Amino acid sequence: MHELVRSVRRDIHKMRAFVRFRLVEEPSGQSRYVAWFEPAHHILRANASFFINRFNTMNWSILTPRGSLHWDCETLLEGPPARREDGPIGDPTEQLWQQYYSSIFNPARLKIGAMLKEMPRRYWRNLPEAQLIPGLIAGAQSREAAMVDRGKDRFTGERPASLAVLAKEVAECRRCPIGCNGTRAVTGEGRADAAVMIIGEQPGDTEEATGRPFVGPAGELLRQHLTEAGFDIGKAWVTNAVKHFKFEQRGKRRLHQSPTAKEIDICRWWIESERALIRPRLVLALGASAARSLFGRTVNIQEIRSKPQQLADGSTAIVTAHPSYLLRLDGQAREIEVARFQSDLAYFADCANALAGNEIAS
């Protein structure tokens, strides 16, 4: 029974989403919007008030094999079952729908399983835009590659001359699939003359929503530990290796996904530009993605953590774990890692605070 209830509810919802009206001219000269729909259950009556409210000032008919509804802006009539041939076939706006659908189709975000869940195949035959889906899927890979290529061209130019220009250009960056995912770019924040830079992996859900780095749960933990270590984060430039939020949509939730090495490497253009503008003398890299971004190769964090690393521009890097790693642990494992994190941050804080005296502890 529960299954049946769910299936009927789903069908009601799908009918609201997938009914497509076509404009027809009635013998009286009046226009009427007519739709052909094939529900899986007897849901026509259950949906009547939704369509009356939504399309109150239009004459419309919804024809189905189980019955039909006719609205004339005042009265709703129920009619007998109809056949597909009773409905109109196309109308002049059909092409517009298709154009709209292909232009909002983002090949970099193609998830066939999720799409089929939202738009099951049984509804396709009555959706004008669904005819395009096989072609769009078939061409997705090459369109995505072309998008990435187009982005590449833009990176051969000069580095941004200021942080404001950098932020503007990052916002428009479509050089990798994460940049193409339609989220807000999050660039660094802090003091433009900071001697210290802190680099995370990528903005998370809260960061994307607010446009600021490290303001979600991992950021809170980082700020707390930095304060305890005696370093004021307000003195640093805080940023990320990757500037857009990579996630997987699960219902209403956006679950973090780690960027690939290639995505981190593509985004290096921005972090290097940021470093060239801020010119920090000490950099704290949090986690493997930040470390890869900094060194241009994968590094073993356990091997190099707490050991200062010299960078090509003469500055010094300290690498430690990412705070969200601590958030994923519990029990004794967490206690151990928190202690190591605290010790790394204490060392970093000493170095950062010593910078005022122009030296880095070795």
Q: Which of 177, 188, 200, 280 binds ligand URA (CB under 6 A)?
A: 200
Tell the smallest beta-carbon distance from residue 241 to ligand URA (Å): 8
- Which candidate, 218, 241, 191, places its Cα nearest to that of 326? 218
Query: Could you tell me which stretch among 60-68, 69-77, 115-123, 196-204 binds ligand URA (CB under 6 A)?
Result: 196-204
Query: Could you tell me which stretch among 70-78, 202-210, 259-267, 326-334 binds ligand URA (CB under 6 A)?
Result: 202-210
Question: By C-beta, is 11 or 208 nearer to ligand URA?
Answer: 208
Tell the smallest beta-carbon distance from residue 118 to ligand URA (Å): 29
CB 34 within 8 A of CB 22: yes
Tell the smallest beta-carbon distance from residue 240 to ligand URA (Å): 5
Q: How many residues does the chain have?
A: 362
Q: Which of 87, 188, 190, 219 binds ligand URA (CB under 6 A)?
A: 219
Residue list 301-340, contact with ligand URA (CB under 6 A) = 324
- Interface with ligand URA (CB under 6 A), residue total 13
Alpha carbon distance 95, 92 (integer Å)? 7
Q: Which two tokens stand for residue 85?
A: 């041939």
Query: Could you tell me which stretch among 47-55, 102-110, 138-146, 215-223 binds ligand URA (CB under 6 A)?
Result: 215-223
Give the DSSP letter string of 125-153: GG-GGGGGHHHHHHHHHHHHHHHHHHHHH
Residue list 221-260, contact with ligand URA (CB under 6 A) = 240
- Which residue carries 């509810």 as its tokens? 9
Q: For residue 31, report the phi and psi dihedrals to the nearest 5 degrees.
A: -95, 150
Question: By C-beta, is 207 or 344 nearer to ligand URA?
Answer: 207
Tell the smallest beta-carbon distance from residue 30 to ligand URA (Å): 57
166: Cβ contacts below 8 Å, ≥ 6 apart: 160, 187, 270, 273, 274, 277
Rule CB under 6 A: say whether 190 interacts with ligand URA: no
CA neighbours within 13 Å on the CB side: how many for 169? Answer: 20
Alpha carbon distance 301, 291 (integer Å)? 8
Rule CB under 6 A: say whether 216 interacts with ligand URA: yes
Tell the smallest beta-carbon distance from residue 352 to ligand URA (Å): 19
- Which candidate, 332, 342, 175, places its Cα nearest to that of 259? 175
CB 290 within 8 A of CB 201: yes
Chain residues that interact with ligand URA, rule: CB under 6 A: 200-204, 207, 213-214, 216, 218-219, 240, 324
